Structure 1
Amino acid sequence: MNLIRRLGMEKRLLAVAVAGALAAPAIAFAQSTVQIYGRMTYEWGRADQGPDRPDLDFSDGPGGSAIGFKGVEQLGGGLSAWFQCESSADITGFDTSSICTRNSAVGFRGGFGNVFAGKWDTPMKRALGLGTVGAEATGILGMSFLPFGGAGGTDISDVGVNSLTRHRWKRRESNLMTYETPKFGGFQVMGAVTGANRTSTANDNVDPNNQQARLWSLAGTYVNGPLGIGLAYERHNEVGFGQTPAGTQDLDDRAWGASVGYRFGPVRVGATYLDSKYETGPGIELKKKSWTIGADWRVGGPHMLSVQYASIGDSKGNSPIGVGGTSNGSVAASGGDTGGDAWSLGYTYAFSKRTTVRLGYVRVDNDSNTNTYRVGNTANLLDDGENTDGWAFLVKHNF
């Protein structure tokens, strides 16, 4: 009998010990949560590359293909720490970038707002996004090149007077420090600045006072129900490193943008406007203005029709050179007939809230004195005034 009672007591003690061991990790991690999320996209299509050239038969993984991890820890007193690590998930295998190369940061949230540092979309890009409706941003169906110089990841510390990304205003910037105010009745202000991670080299003809390329971005947004409004200003300081003669490196680019989006019933409409200026030398400036308008119409059930029109005006100012090199959406030197137009039309079928397919068409027209605007990742156009078009089939799945 004593032996039985002893064995029973040992079983109860063992059960308590096992329960305690299993509960310890739960207690240790009770204040932390980690979520895995992502998007998979695949695009296939054909695009015109200009006269006397074959069409481009192209597959890509545009539209934000990514896999990410994000988490939050409650620190008490309304303060929380958070992180996000988002990496490219290009199923075609073309993108071999490392981890945390998309929106990735670590920060703190509280009654004061949100402060964080990492690689993130700039306030300018986020403000313009409220009115960007009716088209994809990148890929063959991408419509961000003509009005905004492109969208996505880039680094201001790598920008020079002849950089292929200097003219880009929808940026995802590395080494970005951002502050967001709390939202007051739908209003929010956000500001960001980059660290100037650049050291001078022996080949740089750099003024000692003008060595650090830096981005500043400020935006105010209002989002309330079906209405979204964004207003932003962005400045790229000292982007002329490597420029000669000495003393001409202190070149600044700046732009302000506005956007508005509104949804009424099954229709969402949006518009954007961008006014940009580039210094290409002391007292020399290049000016551009662009705008977009678009709509998404859910015509019934899983069906949606989309349309967007984009226009960019002539290069104004007194600059004998352009910016952006040969990249898509680069800015031609000052002069007449140096603008362009683009439009897109798309049909989307939603299998569910997470899985959609899209068939779309894009056309890009250059004015008679420029050839800088084209479809997606096609080759540089050979002649001024060329027009190109393309179509594509796009699959998206969110998880």
Structure 2
Amino acid sequence: MKKSFITLAVLAATGAAMAQSSVTLYGRADLGVGSEKVKGKSTTSMFNGGLTTSRWGVRGSEDLGGGLKANFQFEQGLRLTTGEIAKSGGTEFGRQAHVGLSGGFGKVTLGRTTTVYDDARAVAVSFSVFDSSFTPANNGVFGSGGDYASRASSQIRYDMPNLGGVYGGLTYAFDQKADVDSTITGLLLGYKNGPMNFALGYQNQKEAADKYLQLAGAYDLGIAALAVGYNTRSGSDAKGDDTELTLGVEVPVGAAVKLSAGYATSKTEVGNATSSKASGFALGATYTMSKRTRLYAGYRDVEVKDGSGKVKSDGSLLGLGVRHDF
């Protein structure tokens, strides 16, 4: 009798463990060394996140049956130069902290996560130097009137199921402040089929009175992959409006090496007059050592001018580093 009871207990525990589909500890470590020049002054140092931000996290899902799953994810940014937490939005798990459900209807996510508009921007910066410390669009060119919020707290995000290559989603982030409307709403509609990926994104940030519209496309020709993005920001009379353009190309050289180049330009107009213009370019290379480890090198140069054409700021970065995923 006692042995039968133990056997049943073990089987029950095994069944419970099998119901939990997966819990995964994952992360990314990215660190580089380089020389940065700002307004004619050069400094050589170690820098964080040459290709992408270092982070660690936990994600998992439980199979609830009938194609329905419960999902969760917690993710935290890291600065490897010091071992500090890299807070996003001023919070410890500012990169991801959410729970939700997925199934044939798509996916619903509740908590802090990226907005659907950020997915459209990701299409425009698809390659190795275009979402990194070497990206002109992320380092001085875009956002001259105010950059978009890539993540939102207290957010309901819905991702529709893929319908013959058509994908999309909705974002609604609840008001977080008592004295001003800080809600964020967004819309994504895209089409991905084989080598092509096109996306249209919209985001309305009430607190900043900014409305963003992004049209992005990427196409892999085999011998080269191309990406383009056109972004506009409609703002208040005081901040004006932005128009922004990014172009990129990535060329594989053998099985392990990829070379990439990018260009970005932006203009801000206040009261129908140009108040700021910026442009920059980047060159990069990656070498894949394994499925999880790659070496990289890159160069970025950016210049920002005022409405009269006078240089307000300029800077460049030359560096190399290593990224490891686990």
TM, length-normalised to structure 1: 0.73
Aligned pair 1:258/2:215, yes or no? yes
Letter in 2 for 1:212: D
The 3 A distance-change label for structure 1 pair 35 and 127 is same
The CA deviation at 1:231 is 0.2
Deviations 1:239-271 (A, max 9, x none): 3xxxxxxxxxxxx21121110001121421100
Work out the number of aligned pairs and report it.
319
Aligned pair 1:57/2:76, yes or no? no
1 CA distance for matches of 2:100 and 2:194? 28
2 CA distance for matches of 1:267 and 1:170? 31
Paired position in structure 2 for 1:185 = 164
For residues 80-99 of structure 1, what are the structure 2 equivalents within 5 Å?
Answer: 80-92=69-81, 93-95=83-85, 97=87, 99=92
The 3 A distance-change label for structure 1 pair 256 and 360 is same
The CA deviation at 1:237 is 1.0
The CA deviation at 1:86 is 1.3
The CA deviation at 1:295 is 1.0
TM, length-normalised to structure 2: 0.89
Aligned pair 1:298/2:252, yes or no? yes
2 CA distance for matches of 1:370 and 1:37? 49
2 CA distance for matches of 1:43 and 1:142? 18
In our comparison, the structure showing a higher alpha carbon Rg is 1
Letter in 2 for 1:232: G
Q: Contact 1:147/1:291 (CA < 8 Å) preserved in 2?
A: no
The 3 A distance-change label for structure 1 pair 347 and 170 is farther
The SS at the match of 1:255 is strand
The CA deviation at 1:18 is 4.6
The SS at the match of 2:38 is coil
The CA deviation at 1:64 is 2.7
The 3 A distance-change label for structure 1 pair 170 and 212 is closer
Paired position in structure 2 for 1:389 = 316
Paired position in structure 2 for 1:102 = 95
Aligned pair 1:272/2:226, yes or no? no
1 CA distance for matches of 2:204 and 2:181? 13
Aligned pair 1:219/2:176, yes or no? no
Deviations 1:246-299 (A, max 9, x none): xxxxxx21121110001121421100000111114xxx5601101111011111
Deviations 1:304-361 (A, max 9, x none): 1010000112x2241xxxxxxxxxxxxxxx7437211110001111101211011110
Deviations 1:63-98 (A, max 9, x none): 131112111112223222111111223322243546
The SS at the match of 1:26 is helix
The SS at the match of 1:279 is coil
The 3 A distance-change label for structure 1 pair 96 and 292 is closer
Unpaired runs of 5+ residues, structure 1, are 1-12, 151-165, 201-210, 240-251, 319-333, 372-382
The SS at the match of 2:276 is coil
2 CA distance for matches of 1:49 and 1:56? 12
- The structure whose residues are more often strand, as a share, is 2
2 CA distance for matches of 1:27 and 1:370? 71
Percent identity between the two aligned chains: 24
Letter in 2 for 1:77: G
Paired position in structure 1 for 2:269 = 316
The SS at the match of 1:197 is coil
